[in-house]
Structure 1
Amino acid sequence: MTTADQLAVARRVECEEDGLYFSRYFFKQRMGSKMLIAPHHQAIQRTIDRVVSGEINRLVVNVPPGYTKTELATINMIARGLALNNRARFLHLSYSHNLALLNSSTARAMVKSAAFQEMWPLALKDDADSKAMWWTEHGGGVYASSAAGQVTGFRAGHMEAGWQGALLIDDPVKPDDAFSETIRDGINNRFNETIKSRLAIESTPIVVIMQRIHYNDLSGYLLRGGSGEKWHHLNLPVIIDNSEAYPEENTHGIPIDHGLPDGWLWPFKHNESHRVALTSHRRTFEAQYMQKPRRFNAEGALWTEALISAAHNLHIRFDKVRSVVAIDPQATNSDESDETGIIAASSYGHGDKRQFLVEGDYSGKFSPGGWAKKAMHAYNEHEADAIVIETNQGGDMAESTLKNAGFKGRIIRVHASKGKFARAEPISALYEQGRVAHRGSLYTLENQLMEYVPATSKKSPDRLDAMVYAITELGGGSGYSWKGF
């Protein structure tokens, strides 16, 4: 055997035994450059190897977008899976039919490449060689489709022992549809009704790899028992914190120890210099990057995702009448204290058809002088005619704080004598009537609105309170005055 032959045999053995070596080798063959390997790639590959070995047959992997998940867990898993068993059979699903076809065709091109064929001669059948479906002469291959598309007529794996392929679900719902209950819940229901039945035998592996996009996405659905099965769970947030306990709500999740240190998951891609940009859209950061989407639409909630979505889409039809800035101040300034809620809002039109616009959230943890200056900035920015300030905590001191900071405009003092529900419910009703619009960076406020359930919420919703005070003042002429509050 020549030296070249020996090297070829050694490379083949290395590719079969080491999934990351396989990925690196064929990445360079395809792209002409080296694949950058980080510790999270090793964690993902170790977990995939446990699937191939038969140790794991139900797996959920959550990882931020752009972290090479499709390369490792779909494209290379298909190609290497066929190298290990030329009869391996895969069903690959994604949110987009075209994306599933792209992944399938990339894996197919890898299998047909000279580099692959040199190590594993594997001809494809002439009558089954398309992006959507391609077969080897040994009965292995791939069927690719959207998660909502046609999947009947094909099964992943074979009724045989050992590694026989898998059902690979890569991002079953696109982030843009995260808040579409019809699409999101439709995929969850379809998993049990159709997708799960596409296995040759029950032990055929299912791999769900995705960024979290919603509390009720497929990952959350499965980890909380939606399929009735236990799922191994590799969770990789963009910032690792090993002190966090595994969520109790994941009753059907089996956490996998990733072995990674605290800190940024892949500093080459995201690090401290990117924190502000990543966190600017709080909901996206929490779900897609931190893999911890919040739970909304709980029974009894005054604000739902549908109401917030409608507020974003509401068209203001009338001329602007006035603007105010409302403050829910905190009496103390410490790490334990709540934030001071500072919300800017405007009214448009008159009478029972008037509309309202929530257009600025300036809330945060401030000293008394700090929140006064922030409120004055908002007052000038929105050309407001008054600052509405809740005086339950501090009374005269709150008004004095504003005046001492140099504010010379109109101050409207309010005293909240009724409970939060009594104050918030009329404003929620305005949302129900389609009379409140949202513009600007209101993600944290919107999270607080959707999380507020009067019967169970314990934390004081500071931003919510300030918003309620603002709209109540603006609506004073149509039954939403401060009388009785």
Structure 2
Amino acid sequence: MTEAPLSPEYEAQIEEQHRQEAERRLTDPLSTATFLDYRGVVERPHLRLISDEIGRIATGHTDRLQIQCPPQVGKSLLAAVWAPFWWLARNPSDKVIVASYGNALAVTRGKQIRKLVQRYGWRYGLELEPGSSAVNDWSLRTGGGVRSAGVGGALTGFPGDVGCVDDSLKSRAEAESRIVRERIWDWYSADFLSRLSPGAPIIMIGTPWHEDDLLQRVLKQDGRVEEGGRWRVVKLPALADVDDPLGREPGAPLSHPKIPVDDTAAMRHFWQQRRKETSARDWVSLYLCDPKPMTEALVSHTLLRERTHLPPPVEPKITAVGVDPSGGGRDMAGIVGGFLGTDDRVYITHDASMVGPSAKWARAVVYLAAEIDADVIVFESNFGGDMAETIIKAAWKTARDKHPGDKRFARVAPRVKSERARKGKLLRADPIAGEFEDDRLRLGAKLPELVDEWVTWRPTDTDSPGRIDASVYLAYHLLPVRNESAEVVQHPAAAPAADPFAERFGYGFLSPGARVFRGPPGRTR
């Protein structure tokens, strides 16, 4: 049976409905993309947030937007392909500059945008100018167009009404090169900015590589909006931090275009696999979006790589959990586990550090203690005193009551021991750094966040990383007392109150700025 043809009036009605829907979807790039290519474009929470932020540029809420994301999460397709097309659909006479780290990638971006114009431009009156065949420099009949260039490439003769910089660095080698970073900055300052018309907005999206890369340097120069500066920054790490822009709980995984949005377990597994496969520095910078300087640290990446043994080659004699409690639920509670091996070395094997209220971090402490069959839980008691001990013991009892058949909690509870630090962080951490150097302290697992704190914390820093303190207390409790005596730099009669760290690790009674002497005479760190 042949269906009757649609009447011209009905066809016109359907066409008008499509036109109105197409116009309505121009609020932001992702809404446009999912309408035009509903089979090929997926919506994820992080992409929705990025798109909404780009949409705020069109309404004049901001003119400098920076998005920091891990690699391969769909940010470039949205911000460097669909966003320029969306902008042209709204502003067909505007010229768009799209820059990427290499000319080949820039050409690909230009080709992708042009293909969108060829496929969907008719809905918005977009049509390529006859003879405009270059994939990296093409124009529309309406006067707008796109110039795509590699970072460092020429932009002369092409004024831009909006600029997009997508991943200015392509590798760790480039990120570590001061010459490359300066070249990128010179290009941005002299070539890119000089081609923008007055009031032209900039979208800068990328993966942070270095504390002095383009993403970080523009923030140092122009500042963040919340600090009275110009740039609105949206940071979306693989695992959420405090005050996450997506509203995730600390530690919650970032969504991924290739993983179903409701499969949190698969997303967490994916990022944890990346964490295991990636060096500590790259995990923290590329995936947690928090690049840090590597100078003046107590230990180096090279040393900690040498001190990592997977799996530990010995059996444990004593197992413990070290805890640096947090106050108020917004700071990081350091929670690390490890053991003293049969070779009289300490191996740090677990890191359960987290942000959260006392009940939450105490629960993490006792579950870690149960997992590794800890003999003792050592916590720092400078702030809160006996309160932390009470909370930890209560958490053990709650876990035991909640899991009555679980053998991990049926045993006698581990001893809970407090330690009070009488010295500043440097004088606490420096002797433990020496134990890494002397190969008495090792890592028995890949613990990139812990490694990052050790290799980036400097004595001049005002913050107090919880993982360092927790590992210090763990090592202090487990390491055997050295047989040899240490060299003392001040007579005990003139000394302040005894410090347990000094008694065990032999840095004696130090005056401010004094160096630490360890082991046999003549050896210093």
Q: Same fold (TM over 0.5)?
A: yes
Q: Secondary structure at the match of 1:197?
A: helix
* CA 1:180–1:74: 2 relative to 1, 3 Å: same
* 1:19 maps to 2:18: no
Preserved CA contact (<8 Å) 1:342 1:466: no
**1:454 equivalent among 441, 459, 462:** 459
1-structure distance, mates of 2:248, 2:446: 30
Residue in 2 aligned with 1:197?
Answer: 193
Out of 305, 308, 317, the residue aligned to residue 301 of structure 2 is 308
- The percentage of counterpart residues that share the same residue type is 17
**Alpha-carbon distance in structure 1 between the residues aligned to 2:426 and 2:436:** 15
Q: 5+ unaligned residues in a row in structure 2: which ranges?
A: 1-7, 354-360, 383-410, 413-419, 488-503, 509-525
CA-based RMSD of the aligned residues comes to 5.8
Q: Distance in 2 between matches of 1:372 and 1:23?
A: 46
Q: CA deviation at 1:89?
A: 1.8
- 5 Å-filtered alignment, 1:147-162, equals 147=151, 149-157=152-160
Report the CA distance between 1:342 and its aligned residue: 3.9
Please report how far the alpha carbon of residue 40 of structure 1 lies from its aligned counterpart in structure 2 after TM superposition: 5.3
Given that 2:284 and 2:448 are in contact with CA atoms closer than 8 Å, whether structure 1 keeps it comes out as no
Give the deviation of 1:167 after TM superposition.
0.9
Q: Deviations over 1:139-198 (max 9, x none)?
A: 532222333x324425442xxxxxx4x111123335756973648844773465335434
The answer for the alignment partner of 1:81 in structure 2 is: 87
Alignment-mate amino acid for residue 200 of structure 2? T
Task: Within 5 Å, give how 1:364-443 maps onto structure 2.
Answer: 421=426, 424-425=429-430, 440-443=445-448
1:91 aligned to which of 97, 103, 112: 97
Residue matched to 2:415: none
2:113 to 84, 92, 107: 107
Equivalents in 2 of 1:107, 1:279: separation in Å? 30
> 2:63·2:202 contact (CA, 8 Å) conserved in 1?
yes
Q: Give, in whole Å, the separation in 2 of the partners of 1:169 and 1:430.
A: 45
Corresponding residue SS for 1:122: coil
Contact 2:44 2:261 in 1 (8 A): no
1:178 and 1:437, CA in 2 relative to 1: closer, same or farther beyond 3 A?
A: farther
Q: TM-score, normalised by structure 2?
A: 0.57
Give the match's secondary structure for 2:96.
strand
Q: Does 1:52 align with 2:52?
A: no
C-alpha distance in 1 between matches for 2:243 and 2:381? 36
Matches of 1:332 and 1:143, distance apart in 2: 53
Judging changes above 3 Å, is the alpha-carbon distance between structure 1 residues 49 and 22 closer, same or farther for their aligned structure 2 residues? closer
Equivalent in the alignment of 2:265: 273
**What amino acid sits opposite 1:308 in the alignment?**
H
Aligned to 1:206: 202
Deviation string 1:292-318 (CA, Å, 9 cap, x unpaired) is x26554x75324xxx2157448999xx
Is 1:465 the counterpart of 2:466 in the alignment?
no
Shift of the 206–467 alpha-carbon distance from structure 1 to 2, 3 Å rule, reads same
Tell me which moved more, 167-176 or 32-41: 32-41
Give the direction of change, closer, same or farther, for the CA distance of 1:484–1:152 in structure 2 (3 Å limit). Answer: same
Shift of residue 220 of structure 1?
3.8
CA distance in 1, matches of 2:287, 2:237: 6
Q: Residue 205 of structure 2 aligns to a residue in which SS?
A: strand
Task: Letter of the 1:170 partner, please give it.
Answer: D
Q: Secondary structure at the match of 1:145?
A: strand
- Identify the residue that residue 255 of structure 1 maps to in structure 2: none
Q: Deviations over 1:51-91 (max 9, x none)?
A: 23455322223455555433332212222333344442222
Kindly state the Cα deviation for residue 92 of structure 1 after the two structures are TM-superposed.
Answer: 1.2
For 1:310-329, list aligned pairs within 5 A.
311-312=304-305, 329=322
When residues 188 and 70 of structure 1 are mapped into structure 2, their CA distance, relative to the original with a 3 A threshold, is: same
Q: 1:168 aligns with which of 160, 164, 168?
A: 164
* 1:18-69, Cα deviation, whole Å (9 max, x unpaired): 3268756666766x72644456555444433332345532222345555543
Structure-2 change in CA distance of 1:474 and 1:11 (3 Å): farther
